[in-house]
């Protein structure tokens, strides 16, 4: 089962995504963290998410780039958070996929889906603020939008979380 969870900033999408994995009641839960802790603010965010997951039996695996090379135990329920970070990492980190980010990320998801019993992927709605961005940011929006469309295509279900309320946009 592949379930994509999307939503805006501070919408409660992480809490919802964690709940989906916990409700499966599987034995092995893997959390794939993609946010590279490059400053104090990002370290605080990582810490907040770690506290949210505490007691839910997740094993945390960090993966900033090259998702397709990641090996996980058979039969695991996997939560990957968040596609917006993974995409930025592939685009901008040294050794990342750069111009080939979309292909690299989608291949990575395919490889992960083939290994996982169930896969929940958190992504992010960052496309609706009416600001005209510089070319580089527009390229990022295009890549993330393309990846999100691919995810929704291969997913069994897609949920947008709006202020903690799950709105189903693709039903299983």
Partner 1 sequence: MKMVIGGAYQGKLAYARNTWKDAGKLLDGAVCSWEELKDCGIVCHLEEFIRRGLADGLPMRELPEYFKKENPDVILVCREIGYGIVPMDAFEREYREAVGRICTQLAAMSDEVHRVVCGIGTVIK
| Residues that bind partner 1 in the complex, under the rule CB under 8 A | 7-12, 41, 125-131, 133, 137, 140-141, 162-165, 167
CB-nearer residue toward partner 1: 8 or 26: 8
Q: How far is the CB of 91 from partner 1 (least distance, A)?
A: 13
* DSSP per position, the chain: -EEEEEE-TTSSHHHHHHHHHHHHT-S-EEEEE-----SHHHHHHHHHHHHHHTTS-EEEEE-SS-GGG----TT-EEEEE-HHHHHHHHHHSTTS-GGGHHHHHHHHHHHHHHH-SEEEEE------S-----HHHHHHHHHHHHHHHHHHHH-SEEEEEETTEEEEEE--
* Pick 24 or 46: Cβ nearer partner 1: 46
Q: Work out how close the CB of 164 gets to partner 1 at its nearest, in angstroms, rounded to a whole number.
A: 4
Report in angstroms how near the CB of residue 167 gets to partner 1 at its nearest: 5
Least Å from the CB of residue 73 to partner 1:
33
Q: Whose Cβ is closer to partner 1: residue 55's or residue 130's?
A: 130
Intra-chain end-to-end CA distance of the chain, in Å: 9
**Looking at beta carbons only, is 73 or 127 nearer to partner 1?**
127
* Least spacing, CB of residue 74 vs partner 1, in Å: 36
Q: Which is nearer to partner 1, 27 or 138 (CB)?
A: 138
Residues forming a β-bridge with 32:
61, 80
């Amino acid at each position: 089962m592949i379930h994509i969870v999307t939503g805006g900033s501070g919408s409660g999408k992480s809490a919802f995504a964690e709940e989906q994995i916990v409700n499966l009641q599987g034995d092995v839960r893997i959390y794939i963290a993609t946010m590279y802790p490059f400053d104090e603010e990002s370290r605080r965010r990582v810490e907040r998410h770690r506290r949210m997951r505490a007691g839910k039996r997740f094993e945390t695996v960090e993966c900033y780039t090259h998702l397709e090379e990641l090996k996980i135990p058979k039969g695991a329920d996997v939560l990957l958070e968040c596609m917006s970070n993974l995409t930025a990492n592939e685009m901008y980190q040294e050794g990342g996929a750069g111009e080939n980010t979309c292909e690299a990320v989608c291949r990575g998801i395919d490889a992960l889906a083939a290994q996982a019993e169930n896969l929940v992927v958190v992504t992010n709605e960052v496309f609706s603020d009416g600001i005209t961005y510089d070319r580089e940011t527009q390229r990022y929006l295009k890549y993330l939008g393309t990846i999100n469309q691919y995810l929704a295509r291969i997913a069994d279900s897609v949920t947008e979380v709006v202020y903690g309320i799950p709105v189903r946009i693709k039903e299983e």
